[in-house]
Amino acid sequence: MLDNDADTPSNSSENPHFAEVVARRAASRRDFLAGGTAAGLAGAVGLFAVTEEATAQALGQGNGVAARRAPRLEYAFSPVQVNRLDQVSVPPGYTARAFLPWGTPITGSYPPFVPDGSNTGADQEQQVGQHHDGMHYFPIAPGMIGNRAGLLCVNHEYIQQDTLLPNGPTLAGGRRTVEDEVRKEIAAHGVSVVEIFRDERSREWKVARSRYNRRITGATPMEITGPVRGSRWVQTKYSPTGTRVRGTLNNCAHGYTPWGTYLTCEENWAGYFVSKATPLPRELARFGVPNTNGRYRWEEIPGDAYERFDATPVAGATAAQDYRNEPNGFGWVVEIDPFAPRSVPKKRTALGRFAHEGAWFAPAVPGRPLVVYMGDDSQNEYIYKFVTRERYNPARTNGDCLDDGVLYVARFADDGSGEWLALDYADADFRAAAAARGVSFESQADVLVNTRLAADVVGATKMDRPEWAAVHPVTREVYITLTNNAARAAGATDAANPRGPNPFGHIVRWRELGQRSDARRFNWEIFVLAGPESDSAVLGAGGGAVPALDASNRFASPDGLWIDQFGTLWIQTDMSGSQLNAGPFGNNAMLVADPDTGLIKRFFTGVPGCEVTGVVSTPSGRTLFANLQHPGEQGALLPGSKWSSSWPDGGLARPRSAVVVMTKDDGGIVGS
Ligand code: FEO
Ligand code: CA
Ligand code: CA
Ligand code: CA
């Protein structure tokens, strides 16, 4: 079966020096703290020692709501133990229920889900897609009602053909021939927007038959905005003017804007296309567009809707007459207004083109530029941030501010400092750096289409697969998961990526100079090196202690990350291969972490084969939503089944990705 990510190696070479690396970083904690100018925040009592009032004010921006109080949580639950059960686990006193599994009807004629995979492509266009990933909850209204009803936006990263279709793809002579199968596969990608509400009698969350409900798929028309709009790289037969493109693909993580829209991010899009051009143009080659066939062979079905996935230039044609540029319409951050169901999604090209994991805003400050952090999840790729030209005005700012600004890439120095390097065609230093490497760009559109190449020439730091980021709403400190890196050679480590290879991953955090998110310099440290007891470390409060992980919290391959309105850092894991199926970590999990004390505790475990990804709560924190993606995709098969899991339906049912709704039985804050 197809694993969407780069393979995770199963064997780790024991390296006794990892804890030393963290200890060294801890020793330099004073320097780290010195990076902030607000003395009150940088006191000896800890980085996050802020007043409750300040916390409450800042947290108002965290989840689209004003938190009146930000109680310090005790995390008093009993940690969930490592297990390989085919059921989800939460601590005693909590309840977890599956919700919105793949196939749930949400719009149109609400076609019922058929469990044997025989729903049509047209059905799938009205049902929840497969492989849930990033997700956000938009309260339907301010105040208490927002805790009971909201719009849930859920990404559908990729598909599993053996569960989606009755018997997997039909092939004749090795080629796809059945159009409706491919129509269904394209429809199972994208985003679901669905109004949900909590039924006060049953206390269960349900789908509302709402005008907001919408499926956005791999075929939905979208607009290209920003510097790449209208440029020669995005002219196609479908859009000779280079202003439109069909669909969004491989929507991994996400973001949400201060003006209440949803961002969905295109990650491993390159594999959906094929180009037999020789040589491959750099804007395809640097992202790994294959030259034999697309990952699902969609290009083999006759018709413009499918042939577009073959980007091989047609002899004698211009770019406006074929699909050589179709892949250039992908690799972007896409903005969707969930409250405007007829709006056309916008590909915001100023934020760069790469394997976008997600896009996370720093807290918005009126009168200051807006700042968005982003990771490029591939081995040895980079961390980026985008700074808007516009200064934030809560009454006026909208998504158009994302079309004009400066894209930066991060360089992490071994001394704990860091620098943001502009990828800006208007910047003479940037053009000189490119020229020195023998690379030339002809415009900012060229720079953005080739973002990885631009980052290469300025000397950005190659990271261990940057996944999710989270920005603390009070301190503005940024956390990012580096999930693992099988490709880092032992001799190619640096202080920010200290293991070569890195099978278990780590979490780095940084603070921008002067606590200004748009600063050009920052100070960083490693918050946790994930792994087993013998090979892990956590940076505790004050930088003194360097404890290892233990049975209550050991984890590997961190991926999803979110700091909620109470300052809790939620960590989700995405192990695969033998690390998932035979390692000491059990099924993938979700943990809570206290960024201040370094406390980490396992709160939730998923089912065999799945990753845990996507996390958000209602404003009250009393309902928490997380996703299980690709349950049953790998691992030991259930007796009599083709899969290792039958979650959530049980028996011999085919497994389905779904949302997990978590509540505390006494009605309290989840995780408290
Ligand atoms: Fe789709 Fe990087 O996880
Ligand atoms: Ca994954
Ligand atoms: Ca991910
Ligand atoms: Ca991952």
| DSSP assignment of 565-619 | TTSPEEEEE---HHHHHTSTT-S-EEEEE-TTT--EEEEEE--TT-EEEEEEE-T
| Average pLDDT of the chain, as a whole number | 91
Q: What is the mean pLDDT of residues 364-370?
A: 98
Residue recorded with tokens 């850092």: 569
Q: What is the mean pLDDT of residues 41-59?
A: 33
Q: What's the confidence (pLDDT) of residue 4?
A: 53
Pick the atom of ligand 1 nearest to 465's CA. Answer: 2
Q: What's the confidence (pLDDT) of residue 302?
A: 98
pLDDT above 70 for 32: no
Closest CA to ligand 1's atom 1: 252
What does the longest C-alpha to C-alpha distance in the chain come to?
70
**pLDDT above 70 coverage of the chain, percent:** 88
Q: What's the confidence (pLDDT) of residue 76?
A: 96
Distance 518 CA to ligand 4 centre (A): 28
Distance 442 CA to ligand 2 centre (A): 36
Q: What is the mean pLDDT of residues 109-122?
A: 98
Residue recorded with tokens 């979700």: 590
Distance 48 CA to ligand 4 centre (A): 28
Closest ligand relative to 375 C-alpha: 1
Q: What's the confidence (pLDDT) of residue 539?
A: 79
Distance 281 CA to ligand 3 centre (A): 28
Closest ligand relative to 252 C-alpha: 1
Distance 483 CA to ligand 4 centre (A): 7
What is the DSSP annotation of 617-655?
Answer: E-TTSSEEEEEEESTTSSSSPPTT-SSS--TTT-TTPPP
Q: What is the mean pLDDT of residues 519-540?
A: 93
Query: Ion ligand 3 — residues with CB under 5 Å?
Result: 467, 559
Q: What is the mean pLDDT of residues 436-445?
A: 98
Find the range with the poorest average confidence among 23-37, 111-125, 152-166, 448-462.
23-37
Distance 442 CA to ligand 3 centre (A): 33
Q: What is the Cα–Cα distance from 242 to 236, expressed in whole angstroms?
A: 7
Closest ligand relative to 381 C-alpha: 1
- The secondary element (H helix, E strand) that includes residue 98 is strand 94-99
Distance 647 CA to ligand 1 centre (A): 22
Distance 270 CA to ligand 3 centre (A): 16
Q: What is the mean pLDDT of residues 25-29?
A: 48
Distance 629 CA to ligand 3 centre (A): 10
Pick the atom of ligand 1 nearest to 133's CA. Answer: 1
Q: What's the confidence (pLDDT) of residue 546?
A: 60
Distance 641 CA to ligand 1 centre (A): 27
pLDDT above 50 for 536: yes
Pick the atom of ligand 1 nearest to 574's CA. Answer: 3
Q: What is the mean pLDDT of residues 23-31?
A: 46
Closest ligand relative to 614 C-alpha: 3
Q: Residues 111, 123: contact at Cβ < 8 Å?
A: yes
Closest ligand relative to 630 C-alpha: 2
Pick the atom of ligand 1 nearest to 4's CA. Answer: 1
Pick the atom of ligand 1 nearest to 377's CA. Answer: 2
342-353 tens-digit pLDDT: 999 999 999 999
Closest ligand relative to 557 C-alpha: 4
Q: Residues 322, 313: contact at Cβ < 8 Å?
A: yes
pLDDT above 70 for 36: no
Q: What's the confidence (pLDDT) of residue 154?
A: 99
Distance 535 CA to ligand 3 centre (A): 23
Distance 439 CA to ligand 1 centre (A): 29
- pTM reported for the whole predicted model: 0.92
Domain chopping of the chain, boundaries = 3-664
Pocket, ligand 1, Cβ cutoff 6 A: 5, 157, 252, 267, 357, 377, 467, 559
Q: What's the confidence (pLDDT) of residue 558?
A: 99
CA–centroid distance for 75 within its chain: 25
Q: What's the confidence (pLDDT) of residue 41?
A: 24
Closest by alpha carbon to 289, among 272, 302, 270? 270
Q: What is the Cα–Cα distance from 182 to 126, expressed in whole angstroms?
A: 16
Higher pLDDT, 525 or 45: 525
Closest by alpha carbon to 655, among 86, 251, 96, 157? 86
Closest ligand relative to 611 C-alpha: 2
Q: Residues 8, 576: contact at Cβ < 8 Å?
A: yes
pLDDT above 50 for 594: yes
What is the DSSP annotation of 211-237?
Answer: TT-EEE-TT-EEEEESTTTTSGGG--S
Distance 5 CA to ligand 2 centre (A): 5
Q: What is the mean pLDDT of residues 57-63?
A: 39
605-648 tens-digit pLDDT: 999 999 999 999 999 999 999 999 999 999 999 999 999 999 99
Pick the atom of ligand 1 nearest to 250's CA. Answer: 1
Q: What is the Cα–Cα distance from 267 to 4, expressed in whole angstroms?
A: 10
> Could you tell me which residues are beta bridge partners of residue 84?
none
Residue recorded with tokens 């594999």: 271
Q: What's the confidence (pLDDT) of residue 71?
A: 57
Pick the atom of ligand 1 nearest to 252's CA. Answer: 1
